[in-house]
Chains A and B, each alone.
Chain A
Amino acid sequence: MIPKIKLFLVLVLVIIGLSLSYYSFDYNLFTLSSIESDQLLKRDGGVTVENVSQVSGREIAKYYINRHMIYSLKLFRKISYPLNLAVYFNFTQNNFYPYVILPMFIIGCLYTIRYHLAYLFLYIFVSAIFTCTVISSKTIILYYPLILTLVIIGLYLSTRYVHKLRR
């Protein structure tokens, strides 16, 4: 039963990923405007690409900032956007999942980490690839099937535990 669910989930993920890549492709994936790079680097108005490169005077720092840091920042910001609990569960905003099911999600999550870690890695890896190609606001859709499954697992395990206690 479980291998079938796993296969089904991956299939759903791939279908969603391909559809999103087709309809919501991120055309700015490999381009970085000067405003965007300043936004990424100039936290609290501190530093810009230009002045850090100018001051550090070291080739390694210049190379690191211009070729590595801003792109890795952009990439990690994209990949991590859907890996934020607040996007799915939040009291102060109306989100996809109500807060009351968060405990179920946590139980499901711990169970999956304990018994199906490799599969979880696979799901996150495939999602991360699609996340890169899809515009940020849509990337959370990729995780909806997983979260829903984890909530169901959590719900199932809790009810089973309650039944056990009753007996």
Chain B
Amino acid sequence: MKRIQVILFILILLIAVFTRFYRLGEIPMGIHADEASQGYNAYSLLKTGKDMYGKLFPILFRANGSYQPPVYTYLTIVPIFLFGNTVSSVRFVSALAGLLLVGVTFLFVYLFGIGKKEDKITQALIASVVLAISPWSIHFSRLAIEGNLVVVFFVLGLLLALLSLKKKWFFVFACLVFAFTTHVYYTERITSILFMAVFVLFNRKIFLKQKKEVLIGLVVFVLVMIPHLVISESGALTKRLSEVGYIKDINNVDGGLINKTTFLTGKFADHYFSYFSPKNLFFDPGQDLGRTSQDLAVFYPWFFIFALAGVRYLLQYNSETMTKLLALVIVIGPLPASITGDPFYPLRVLTYLWGITLVVSYGFNYFWNWFGLKRIRMLTVSLILFYSILHFYISYFATSKYASSPDLSYSYIKLVDELSKYKDKKVFIDFSGRAWGVGIRLAYLLKADPTKTQDNLSSQLGTPYYSGDVNAWETFRIDNITIEPINWLEICGGDVIVVGDRYSISENQIKDHKMKLEFVVKNAVYEDVLFGYLASGKCSEPQNR
């Protein structure tokens, strides 16, 4: 590589560092219940070697009425050990994965790009910069999401799989990495296995000559999958799918087998093709704030032109490995998400979005080659990239951070400061459907003693640790704080702090329990959202809710 190319690559990495780590704990504002459970489980493992239920080295982590794949939580132990129980600690692994993905993508395109070595370097630089500034990659790197972590492992698997075509022993490592991805995120149980099967099938002539490595690879693959088999009967393995999938809806379909099959096929096709809609990919921010920022889809609108040009470029080189591989990733990528109930859910297709990012980058490459004058093309591409970063910065860092604050319960982070003033009093915090995950959020942020939490939560398990039936309504006790649906009879003892939102405590209850407003917690846009009351003395007419 020339010196200018090295400088450009370092610059791209710096952009990736900035967009992924700048005010990581503050933007998006708040902490999601799933982020908090990953953080608290990691904290519990760090302190006791067990998760918050007292389970030793779980295969899946039971949390928030469901299960979380384990790898992200295990990796989060390191940042929590280094930086403590902060929001940025729990997001650190994802941000680092986002940064590593830029590097791995560069390496991937550099090794398996199209054309001569010099062309491959240009393609690799363009691919890494497009990825570094893509809204989906930045957004999901700033949240503790297993789906983001898995992309870097998947691309590493791709790299090893392609290398195995030249050096046969790489096949064993490719099998190891692909099997490992199934423990990182749910979707890879379909994507990785399917990809590996199709990859071997397409290259059967090569693999038939190296039977020994293929056999060892398969053994490694099966060995890494054993934990799944251990819990396969419990219902825990498919718990998430049963929650988000639409297969269960088949019981509501009237008529015979034909109607049911039509329903399933139709639903699957509708959801699958929604991932190929330019509207969803490039223009529509959608209603779900989990997508990206307030006014952006998963890609910038102007990337649509480059995506078309990228398809044109790749079709031109349709016999190249890169084209075939991207086609495979793009076709397989949305399959797992298509069996879930949400029509377009980017979080479940990040591997696919990585594939689309490479197509977009080849579109840039197409225009790069099309422009004759070096200076003009450099200026044009730089302007487009600069405008994209500027647009994203204003949209995401200046405005959209507020949009996500209600969703991520930012007010409960502010509540932690208020609670520190009432260590000598009993505190009851209302736990309702409106305040989902408040217990686990506070347990993480207040560094609740894991041993006590293990005793408390294990007594509320109700079913075996791995089960298809998981209790989501657990009471959390953190020193003087109890988080549960308010029991007004308990409050009648007097001198307690009761915290809830505007619907938790009525005017009559304030009167009955002789309560006095102690504090108000505002959300990110200065609206009063949480109210803390001091209930003192006996109740005039105690009522149970």
Residue ranges of A at the interface with B (Cβ–Cβ < 8 Å): 41, 43-47, 51-52, 54-56, 58, 60-61, 64-65, 69, 72-73, 76-77, 79-81, 83-86, 89-92, 99, 102, 110, 113-114, 117, 120-121
Contact = CB atoms under 8 A, between A and B. Distances in A.
Interface in B282-332: 282-289, 294-295, 301, 304-305, 308-309, 311-312, 315-316
Contacts of B395: 64, 69
A114 B312 contact: yes
B279 A60 contact: no
A46 B402 contact: yes
Contact of B284 (A58, A61, A77): A77
B222 interface: no
A89 B273 contact: yes
A101 to B, nearest CB: 13
A102 B316 CA distance: 23
18 contacts: A43-B287, A43-B289, A44-B288, A46-B407, A56-B402, A64-B394, A64-B395, A69-B294, A69-B395, A80-B301, A85-B274, A85-B276, A86-B273, A86-B277, A91-B265, A91-B267, A117-B308, A120-B308
Given A45-B406, A77-B283, A81-B279, A92 B315 contact: no
Contact of B399 (A45, A65, A76, A102): A65
A81 B395 CA distance: 22
A80 B511 CA distance: 54
Given A43-B289, A51-B527, A55-B402, A83 B273 contact: no
A65 B399 CA distance: 8
Interface string B438-473: 000000000000000000000000000000000000
Given A64-B394, A80-B283, A121-B305, A86 B274 contact: yes
Interface of B: 262, 265-267, 269-270, 273-274, 276-280, 282-289, 294-295, 301, 304-305, 308-309, 311-312, 315-316, 343, 394-395, 398-399, 402-407, 524-527
Given A72-B295, A86-B277, A52 B402 contact: yes
A52 B399 CA distance: 7
Given A44-B403, A91-B267, 11 more contacts: A41-B294, A43-B287, A43-B294, A46-B407, A51-B525, A85-B273, A85-B277, A86-B274, A99-B269, A114-B312, A114-B316
B273 A110 contact: no
A80 B129 CA distance: 26
B289 A46 contact: yes
Contacts of B305: 121
A77 to B, nearest CB: 7
Chain A binding surface, main DSSP class: helix
Nearest to A110: B315
Given A46-B289, A51-B402, A84 B294 contact: no
A76 B283 contact: yes
Chain B binding surface, main DSSP class: helix
A117 B398 contact: no
A73 B295 contact: yes
B414 to A, nearest CB: 14
A124 B3 CA distance: 41
Nearest to B287: A43
A58 B273 contact: no
Contacts of B265: 91
B399 A69 contact: yes
Nearest to B262: A91
Contacts of A92: 266-267, 270
Which of A44, A64, A121: most chain B Cβ within 10 A? A44
Given A92-B267, A114-B312, A47 B278 contact: no
Contacts of B277: 83-86
5 closest Cβ pairs, A-B complex: A91-B266, A80-B283, A84-B279, A80-B279, A46-B403
A155 to B, nearest CB: 19
A61 B400 CA distance: 10
Nearest to A70: B295
Nearest to B304: A83
Contacts of B289: 43-44, 46
Given A47-B402, A51-B526, A91 B312 contact: no
B312 A56 contact: no
Contacts of B285: 43, 73
B362 to A, nearest CB: 12
A44 B315 contact: no
A83 B270 contact: no
B398 A58 contact: yes
Nearest to B397: A61
Nearest to B524: A55
Nearest to B275: A85
A46 B406 contact: yes
A93 to B, nearest CB: 9
Contacts of A117: 308-309, 312
B269 A61 contact: no
Which of B283, B286, B301: most chain A Cβ within 10 A? B283
A64 B273 contact: no
A65 B308 CA distance: 30
B379 to A, nearest CB: 21
A113 B403 contact: no
Contacts of B269: 91, 99
A85 to B, nearest CB: 5
A46 B282 contact: no
A81 to B, nearest CB: 7
Contact of A110 (B267, B294, B311): B311
A104 to B, nearest CB: 14
B418 to A, nearest CB: 20
A84 B287 contact: no
A121 B311 CA distance: 13
A58 B62 CA distance: 43
B261 to A, nearest CB: 12
A52 B525 contact: yes
A113 to B, nearest CB: 5
A30 B405 CA distance: 31
Contacts of B278: 80, 83-84
A150 B201 CA distance: 32
A92 B263 CA distance: 8
B521 to A, nearest CB: 16
A54 B453 CA distance: 41
